[in-house]
Amino acid sequence: MQAQTLSSYGSGACDTPLLGDTIGDNLARTVLRVPNAEALVDVPSGRRWTYAELDADSTALALGLLARGVEAGDRIGIWSQNCPEWTLLQFATAKVGAVLVNVNPAYRSHELAFVIGHSGMRMLVSAVAAKRSDYRAMIAQVRSQYQDLRDVVYIGEGSWDELVAAGAAASSMDQLTERMATLSCDDPINIQYTSGTTGFPKGATLSHHNILNNAFFVGELVGYTERDRICLPVPFYHCFGMVMGNLAATSHGAAVVIPAPAFEATATLKAVELERCTSLYGVPTMFIAELALEDFAAYDLSSLRTGIMAGSPCPVEVMKRVVAEMNMSEVAICYGMTETSPVSTMTRVDDDLIRRTETVGRVMPHLEVKVVDTVTGRTVPRGEPGELCTRGTSVMLGYWNEPEKTAEAIDSARWMHTEDLARMDDDGYVSIVGRIKDMVIRGGENVYPREIEEFLYSHPDIADVQVVGVPDPIYGEELMAWIVMRPDAEPLTAESVRAFCLGRMAHYKVPRYVHVVDGFPMTVTGKIRKVEMRAEAVEILAGTQKDS
């Protein structure tokens, strides 16, 4: 009898049960277990909190919210780069059952106005400014348009102190205890606006159950305990920071270390050395920047053992250097999306380097994943490419007030369609091939940019590379490679790239065009914005053809 071909389906069998806590109750259990363990360190200001102190300060803030009349389900915005107050508000809102609305620090007034109006925001907690952004001026510009926005509180100013003091004056601890007792782990607790490529973003709505369990099992798979110290240079406003970072730490009694308000390679490595961090997070571009520091070898990174790399695919050579030169022998690769809280697949501590460089791991505990044909929707045999779908406790409640868009993303069987192209091997490991929208069809051949990027990374003069499709009158689409050169290397040309590929890659996969750049357009979370690259590539080629 012929062996039956396995289908591309995996489920995360696990003996460890799911958590049924709210975020506030889960923090309380950690405080009872390790009250004196360090919970939060802000390197720029030198401030520190034990778990008992973090709980006390987030409770004081929660009491202030109650004194201001905040009800369960009210939306409270946070617009700031990384700081301790961000974390305190995250737990304070969870304790009173308010929905925390994460506002991208890069937003301008037009985008801020959309998020305030779309979420029905009742209160906005904001930094005064960040980098070149004057938050106070932008808030003043849009506030009068929205009657629901009753309070604006500025971090580090009197309005923040007044909010905390309002709770103390009210002496409302009984009220908070009563409020927490009414909350359910299935209540919405967070709205995260996804980076829409066209039009306005959608508000992914996540519950206590979604993000707490996702965080807990991420922490389980990298072996977190109260002895771990996690350096977080990734933004809190995204799941990477507030879920995989803050909540993974607090659900295990580990410490969160904030190296800087926004990513700085030098500040990150200094924080690892100074605070003896055992874990470091980042998107691949962050690790690339750290490794590229002229004085990289001078930092003592011997305390590191693990970390998480996520946000976009990691070049194989970068991962090898992170393991060998940053002492991160147990570093994990995570894959997911905001709508799935975020992690769907993850490598394990005992996975070899091949698994951690060529795949995004296996399905997370208690979740399901499958790879389906993009036309028929049927699950494909293992080894064949298709769209990756995920189902389980991590899948969002839906897009805030947008049932039609929710139905487009989550089918009737509760499968979240990721729009990512993937393959699953015989052992259940998943490899991301690319985005459905990124796949290039050249002369009838399906071309996956990720494969070409990995090959070009092996060129000794290339530091980073991204490949996009551009329109072509003969083949339908052609390939353009955007290349960042290594220091002191001569810029590559299309001819030199073609010569490098000759005999080593099918002709239809060889980029026809080469564009040398200093960097790529990216979101704040480090994801490459290929939609912008494609648009710019079309303009570049149009200008070249016009000139010729």
Q: What does each C-alpha distance from 53 to 38, 163, 349, 473 come to in angstroms?
A: 9, 18, 32, 65
Tell me the per-residue pLDDT of 498-534, one tens digit each, with 9 for 90 and over.
999 988 877 888 999 999 999 999 876 677 888 899 9
pLDDT grade for 283, boundaries at 50, 70 and 90: confident
Give the type of residue at 542. A
d(CA 240, CA 343): 9
Burial class (CB in 10 A: 0-12, 13-18, 19+), 197: exposed
* pLDDT of amino acid 1: 42
The model carries a pTM of: 0.86
Going by the DSSP 8-state scheme, the letter that residue 528 receives in this structure is B
Structure tokens at 159: 């309005």
Overall average pLDDT of the 372-388 stretch: 95
More confident residue, 19 or 526: 19
Tell me the per-residue pLDDT of 454-475, one tens digit each, with 9 for 90 and over.
889 999 999 999 999 999 888 8
d(CA 154, CA 267): 25
d(CA 136, CA 142): 10
CB atoms within 10 A of CB 164: 19
Tell me the per-residue pLDDT of 137-166, one tens digit each, with 9 for 90 and over.
999 999 999 999 999 999 999 999 999 999
pLDDT grade for 478, boundaries at 50, 70 and 90: very high
Q: Which secondary-structure segment (H or E) carries 304?
A: none
- Contact at 8 Å (CB) between 431 and 356? no
Helix 84-96 crosses helix 173-182 at what angle (to 10 degrees)?
A: 70
In 3D, which of 217, 207, 256, 208 has the Cα closest to residue 234? 256
Structure tokens at 343: 């992690």
Q: Which secondary-structure segment (H or E) carries 15?
A: none
Give the type of residue at 403. P
Q: Hunting for tokens 């194989």 — which residue is that?
A: 316
* pLDDT of amino acid 353: 85
Set out the domains of the chain in order of their start, with CATH numbers.
Answer: 20-37+49-208 (3.40.50.12780), 438-547 (3.30.300.30)
Task: Return all residues near 346 (Cβ < 8 A) that are at least 6 apart.
Answer: 218, 221, 332, 333, 334, 335, 360, 361, 362, 364
